Structure 1
């Protein structure tokens, strides 16, 4: 019991420290002095003051060194994780994401230890929850944003078509779409126009957006513009046809989703129910389920009969879930 108390104290201290780092901002006095120095340098006529102001601005624009480098260094592919955070459309940083993961892991581990779970098992479950829950939530936000973008994208193509038919250039019609279409479509087209204004070519700006979104609909749009620039032709008519194709594609997806919704709901219920009941029983009465977590040195691979049966059941459930997922998975 003394070991559990020590581990609980370490977890609480770590959680308080992470919360302090997350909520603590820069010193107001230092920020005020920094702003005053920037103003003096901006309005001073001396070359040294102007050079110092530029150096301060360049240093302030770099990533801050106060971020949790120890947590961010644990990410195996930080570029990919940063790209996922950008795809959500939120202004989240990698350090904030890893701090959230650490806080969730510590809270889950503390709650499980308070219920009498072994410290090692509590830490393992807390680590799995701390890494899995934020990853799942980020994926859900990305999926929701991509769906909103795909739903409004044909409207943007039709607006582009009307602008081109009225005689406007393609760059100006992109700006009109960014101001007229709400949601993710307007945000992405606004970023495209801003990149073009700072010197990027239209192909580069469109390709960067396509790489970040990863949707086939926007890839079709980029390929259409690239082919039209090389071969010529009526771009307005091409975009109008593309908008019609994308609407038909979305209608077909909705029909397939409606036809397979009952099967998917049944698969979700059947697949989640055993794990949900198992977790509830472990939380209510861990002593009843403790033999499942107790190894047997005389058993196969050091596992007890209950553990072997559980592993076999999870394997069969995984095979069944994979087969059902493939039965309702259609490529359009």
Structure 2
């Protein structure tokens, strides 16, 4: 072990981190929730709807009011490129802190981690790599919280639709059904339906309020709900029957997703095993034959073999991700 260079240990740990991260992002797909491409299409459709009407974007109006409450320095930081999108991510994740603080926390983690690596291993590229990785930790945490919140909302949505159906059958108006859902349900769905009811109650029209719900929860299930409600208000029909069928459709979609996830479990486990084998064997060689790996590292062809094998492993991860990706 003492003959193995420190540079190789750092590179080896970096390879493990990158492989596990890519594998977790590609294979640990939640049962609920939408892919990023679907959310992007939903946002594009929202922009088209907003441009088609003369009503300004509610998110833009709220952001302008929000910036007016900040100090000049905070407002300048919040107006930096990319901060608006980050602020939207923070809001969708259910957090209330300001977006610029996420960047400041990332910079603090990056500086502290890079300095710590430099003190123990005076390698500028290692310190830079650790700093860059730590900078993205807060943003990845927010992205993870947002995905969990989307999944929780979609899981609770069928029960919320059933509550709306019962309220409509009892003779309550549509606006009141949103308040009843917020009172009867718990968690994310109660919070979002409460915001939608408050949006209508404070003078906004139903169309803008429902599009605001879709902006906060950009998923295919919410788009089906919003589209059904808006079409009903324009063309008429039996909203109770529409919501009942939508609730049944969403539950059936979730059952199908769970079935696909179960059938692909073997493939995901195989992917973890295949990616772990090279690292486990390397650790075993480091423990049993410490003189073997330094011979590989001292030869230039050994460097090429290591780089080629790691590149092939990354290709394998993306290929497995493509095969068993769950997008229903």
Tell me if TM exceeds 0.5.
yes
C-alpha deviation, 1:194, in angstroms: 1.5
Name segments (4+ residues, structure 1) moved above 6 Å: 275-279
- Please give the alpha-carbon distance, in whole angstroms, between the structure 2 residues aligned to 1:84 and 1:244: 30
Change (3 A) 1:150 1:107: same
Offset from partner CA, 1:269-298 (integer Å, 9 cap, x none): 53366579989x8xxx9xx98x97x9x9xx
Offset from partner CA, 1:149-189 (integer Å, 9 cap, x none): 11100000000000001110000000111121111101111
C-alpha deviation, 1:88, in angstroms: 0.4
Q: Does the 8 Å contact 1:104/1:126 carry over to 2? A: no
- Aligned to 1:136, the other structure's residue is in SS state helix
Equivalent in the alignment of 1:112: 117
Equivalent in the alignment of 2:131: 127
Change (3 A) 1:65 1:268: farther
Which of 105, 123, 147 lines up with 1:100 in the alignment? 105
Change (3 A) 1:260 1:196: same
Tell me the matched-pair count.
Answer: 257
Change (3 A) 1:252 1:222: same
RMSD: 3.1
Equivalent in the alignment of 2:84: 79
- Aligned to 1:104, the other structure's residue is in SS state helix
- Please give the alpha-carbon distance, in whole angstroms, between the structure 2 residues aligned to 1:148 and 1:313: 39
- Please give the alpha-carbon distance, in whole angstroms, between the structure 2 residues aligned to 1:107 and 1:272: 30
1:14-53, aligned counterparts within 5 Å?
Answer: none
Change (3 A) 1:272 1:184: farther
1:128-207, aligned counterparts within 5 Å?
Answer: 128-207=132-211
Equivalent in the alignment of 1:244: 248
Equivalent in the alignment of 1:317: 313
In structure 1, list runs of 5 or more residues that go unmatched. 1-57, 297-303
1:290-301, aligned counterparts within 5 Å?
Answer: none
Q: Does the 8 Å contact 2:200/2:206 carry over to 1? A: yes
- Aligned to 1:67, the other structure's residue is in SS state helix
- Please give the alpha-carbon distance, in whole angstroms, between the structure 1 residues aligned to 2:162 and 2:266: 34
Change (3 A) 1:231 1:265: same
- Please give the alpha-carbon distance, in whole angstroms, between the structure 1 residues aligned to 2:75 and 2:106: 12
Change (3 A) 1:278 1:94: farther
- Aligned to 1:167, the other structure's residue is in SS state coil
C-alpha deviation, 1:215, in angstroms: 1.0
